[in-house]
A and B are shown apart, each in its own frame.
Chain A
C-alpha cells in the first residue's frame, strides 16, 4: 500500500504556492479547454512557472483539459497538447476520448481520466486502462463498495474526491446552464443553475415546503473516512474548488494533511479528532456529508436554505513579511479587524492565538481599526511568523 497523494485545486499561481506550502503533494490547475472557463486560468507561461515551482519542491502538477469538445475545439486541441507536452506537467486530466487519442499519438503526456467521464464500475475502468489511461478520477456517485471492487479488480491508479462542492447531477449530464442561460456547461460555462430556487408543481398545483425547491446538495466531506480510503489503497485524495480562496485552500489542505499523516504514521494510535471537523465547518458556506460514499443520497444530503449561504468572514488577513527586530508582522487585510480582537495566525505546521495589542498603518502610525480591503498594516505578534501565514478570527 502506498501513502495516498493529497491533491489540491489551485486557481492561480498564488494558490498553487499556498496549496503546496500547506501540505498538498500535487495540485490540479486549469489551462485552456477546462471546465472552469470563468476561473483565473493559467496561460502556458503560468503553467510553465507553476510546474517548475512544484517540481523544484518534489511536487506534481496536473492540468485539466476536460471539456467535451465541439468541432471548433477539435482543430485547436493538438497544438495546445503539444505545447503542454513541452512544459511537462505530470499529467493532463481529460474526459473526451478524442483528446486521449490525440495526446497518445502526438505527445508523451500522462493521462488521467476526469470525473466528468462518470466512471463507476470495473468494466469501464478496464476499458480506459486498455486505452492507456494511467489514473481514473472516479465518479462522485461511487460508494465505498464501488471503490473497493474497482481497486481489487483492476491495477490502475484511483483518485477520489474527499471534499468540496457536488454537482446535483451526474457529471456531464446537466445542461441546465445551456438552456436557461445559453452558457455551455460541458465547455466550462456552468452558471450553477442547480443552486437556484424553483417552484414545484404537482399536476399544476403548487407543492410548497417551508423553503423553495432546489437541486442543491450539501457539500462533500470524507473527513471521517480517510483511514478507509487509505486502507482501500486509493492513490490520490482530491479536494474540489479551483475557484476557492487561498485561505480556504490553506485551511482544508492543512487539515487533511494532518489527518493523512496522523493515520499513516501510526494507524493503531489514530483517533478521529473533532477539532479538525470544526475547523472545516468554519471555512465552509454549506453543511457537508459523505454523500454517495456511504450509499446515502436521500433527503439528508439535500440543501434547502433559500440560497442563504453563509459568508465566511473569519479570514482577516495574510502575512506578507515578518521583522524579527521589531516583532511586527506585515499583513494584508481581507476582512475587518481591530485592536483588542482575539485572533489566530496559522502556518503549515504552526499556529498561535492572541489578542491584538499593537497595530500600525503603513506609515507606522498607531491604528485602532483595519477596515479597507487589501490595506497593508503591521501587527505585533508573540513569535516569528512567515510569509503566507493566514490570519483569522479566533
Chain B
C-alpha cells in the first residue's frame, strides 16, 4: 500500500521525501478544499523529488476557465506527472481532445461510491479512483474485489464534507461588518468544532475529527492529509502509522448511513 500525501508546502514535501510514495498536489486556481495550493513551478520542483505526483484539479469549471485550463493541462502533460485528480467531467473530454498522456484519477468526492460506476470510468480509460470517505469497510472491500481500478482512500486527516462556490465566511463577516482577525476559522454545533476555510474558489467545511483509519485499510494508495496537522506530528504518523496525539478514528468504516425510502417496488 502506497502512501499518498497532501502537502502544505514545498519544504514539507522535501522534508518527508523518504516517507512517502506519492504527492497529491492542489494547484493554483483549479483546486478547492485545500488551504495550500501550488504553482506550476513548485510542481516541477516536487516532480524532481522522484516520487509519483498527482495534481488535484477538482474545482467545478466554468466556460471562461477552459482556455487557461487547457494550457495548464498541456504544461502538466509535458512534465510527465503521474496523474490528474479530477472532479469535473470536462477533464475527460479534454484528455481526449488534447491527446494528453497523463492518467486520470476519478475523484468526485462523495459520489465515488460503487464498483459499477468505477468500472464505467475504467472502461473510459481512467486508471485510478479516489473513493468517498463515507463508505463502509465492507463496501470498500467489495469495490476492490469487483474492479481493476487502482484505488485511493483517505486514511488520515481532516475530511472535507462540504464545498461551495460561495464564500460563506467572508459573506457573513461582510454582512455583519465584523472584524476578521485572519485566524483559523471553525464553526461550532452541539459540542463539536468543524474547521471551515474560505478561499478564492469557495468555502470548505471539514469533519470535526481527524480520521485515522490507517490500520484498517488496505488499498493501492492511502491518502494522508496534512491540513491543520503540525509538521512534526505528521511526520510521526507517516513514519510509524500511529500517534498518541491522533487516536484511531474510523469515520464511516463501521458506521452505515441511512436514507428513508418507503417500499415502492
Contacts and interface: CB of A to CB of B under 8 A. Distances in A.
Interface of A: 31-32, 37-38, 41-44, 68-71, 73-74, 95-98, 101-102, 117-124, 126-128, 139, 141, 143, 145-146, 149-150, 168-170, 172-176, 178-180, 182-189, 196, 198-205, 207-211, 213, 215, 217, 292, 297-299, 301-302, 304
B20 interface: no
Contact of A128 (B89, B109, B134, B135): B89
A178 B257 contact: yes
Contact of A182 (B115, B181, B196, B258): B258
B188 A178 contact: no
Given A122-B66, A169-B163, A209-B176, A69 B113 contact: yes
Given A118-B60, A139-B60, A301-B166, A68 B113 contact: yes
Interface residues of B, number: 75
The residue among A188, A203, A292 with the most chain B CB atoms within 10 A of its own CB is A203
Contacts of A189: 257-260
Contacts of B117: 68-69, 96-98
B260 A97 contact: no
A41 B139 CA distance: 27
Contacts of A184: 134, 257-259
A183 B161 contact: no
A205 B265 contact: no
A186 B259 CA distance: 9
Contact of A71 (B120, B139, B172): B139
Contacts, number: 236
Contacts of B120: 97-98, 101
Nearest to A32: B264
B116 A188 contact: no
A32 B167 CA distance: 35
Contacts of B146: 71
A274 B119 CA distance: 52
B169 interface: yes
B1 interface: no
B169 A200 contact: yes
Contacts of B175: 209, 299, 302, 304
A121 B63 CA distance: 5
B164 A186 contact: no
28 contacts: A43-B265, A71-B115, A71-B143, A96-B111, A96-B114, A97-B117, A97-B121, A120-B62, A121-B62, A123-B97, A139-B60, A145-B64, A146-B63, A173-B163, A174-B164, A178-B161, A179-B208, A182-B255, A183-B258, A184-B257, A188-B259, A199-B187, A202-B180, A202-B181, A209-B176, A213-B172, A217-B166, A292-B165
A173 B162 contact: yes
Given A169-B163, A179-B208, A187-B259, 13 more contacts: A43-B264, A69-B113, A123-B90, A126-B93, A173-B109, A174-B163, A175-B161, A176-B161, A184-B259, A201-B185, A202-B185, A205-B183, A211-B176
Given A149-B63, A178-B161, A183-B257, A199 B189 contact: yes
A266 to B, nearest CB: 32
Given A69-B116, A139-B60, A168 B168 contact: yes
